Amino acid sequence: MSLQYCADPSLLHGWQWLSCYLLTPKHQLFYTSFLVVFALLAITAPVVLLLGFAGAMAKRSSFLPLRWFGSIYTSMVRGVPDVIFFLFVPIALDQLVEYARHKIKCPDITAPVYQGSDFIVCAAAKMPTSNADAWVHQLWGFSLAVIAFSIVFGAFAANTIHGALQAVPHNQLETARAYGMSDSQVFRRVHLPQMWTYALPGLSNLWMILVKATPLLFLLGVEDIVYWARELGGAKTSYFEYPHPDWRLWYFLALLVFYLLLTWLSGKFFARLTDKFSVDKSRSKANSIKPTLIGIGR
């Protein structure tokens, strides 16, 4: 989808030049890479919620090993800088998968996989396979990123949800029991609905951090918006069709605006959600700026 007058860029000036420049195939790749960010968020967010619930339930379990697992999972992730985790998990997963494939596909190779500091598997075990298309590589990198994001943010979500479940006033649950509800009814009808009030501030915060962490995709070799901004913004000599000086400042400014817009919209969305789930209706309606969520619902 290129405009008619774009046939010979060297003849173009002003806004015509700009419009043609902004529609080059590479720029179109830049625009679609925004979808990568949204895809990451769209896949990660529900998985994080699920893992968060699972982690929280594990921490509350009456089964000791499960409780241990929940606590170890959440406290381990909490104690490590995110970036380290994002670097570690994908490489570890990558090597784990390749190691497994190596054992299955090349059983006759007896040389150890770790030779000195090198990790060497047979060609057939490589992930993705060496003849795979570029998009397979991208997808593989993206999937590893999703897993890393999910594990890290799942642990945070587990903490938040666990705390929120604890925060529901005991008398609300006891009353439900006093009226004959079974444990599962108490959980579904009272505990869970009231939990959201206490979990939403934390989860909304978590979402913001998740959004702001998406450029880490770049770190994992995925061609995301940061990759393309650097790529396109860098100075282009007259050797290129559309030569220009170093414009990275402008490209990164565009990313800045994009993230600001995204977090601002998210903030609005969560404010509405918080309002909806707020246990204390009178307070949240009157105080539209920031609903008070703690210390309510006796």
Q: Which residue ranges make up the site for other proteins (CB under 8 A)?
A: 171-172, 174-182, 185, 189-190, 193-194, 197, 279-283, 296-298
Nearer to other proteins, 174 or 241 (CB): 174
Nearer to other proteins, 189 or 290 (CB): 189
* Calpha distance 242→144 (Å, rounded): 35
Give residues with Cβ within 8 angstroms of 174, minimum separation 6: none
Nearer to other proteins, 178 or 249 (CB): 178
Smallest distance from the beta carbon of 286 to other proteins, in angstroms? 10
What are the C-alpha distances in Å from 82 to residues 11, 77, 78, 209?
Answer: 49, 8, 9, 11
Residue 260: HSE in the Cβ half-sphere, 13 Å Cα cutoff: 6
Q: One-letter amino acid identity for 43?
A: I
Smallest distance from the beta carbon of 165 to other proteins, in angstroms? 14
Nearer to other proteins, 78 or 283 (CB): 283
Nearer to other proteins, 86 or 277 (CB): 277
* Calpha distance 80→88 (Å, rounded): 11
Smallest distance from the beta carbon of 205 to other proteins, in angstroms? 22
Nearer to other proteins, 134 or 178 (CB): 178
CB 20 within 8 A of CB 2: yes
Nearer to other proteins, 13 or 298 (CB): 298
Smallest distance from the beta carbon of 267 to other proteins, in angstroms? 23
204-240: b (≥16 Cβ within 10 Å) or e: bebbeebbebbbbbbebbbbbbbbbbeebbeebeeee
Q: Comparing C-alpha atoms, which of 116, 87, 91, 113 is closest to residue 101?
A: 113
Q: Comparing C-alpha atoms, which of 261, 245, 241 is closest to residue 253?
A: 261
* Calpha distance 163→137 (Å, rounded): 39
Smallest distance from the beta carbon of 198 to other proteins, in angstroms? 12
Smallest distance from the beta carbon of 67 to other proteins, in angstroms? 16
Question: Which residues sit opposite 236 in a β-bridge?
Answer: 244
Smallest distance from the beta carbon of 62 to other proteins, in angstroms? 10
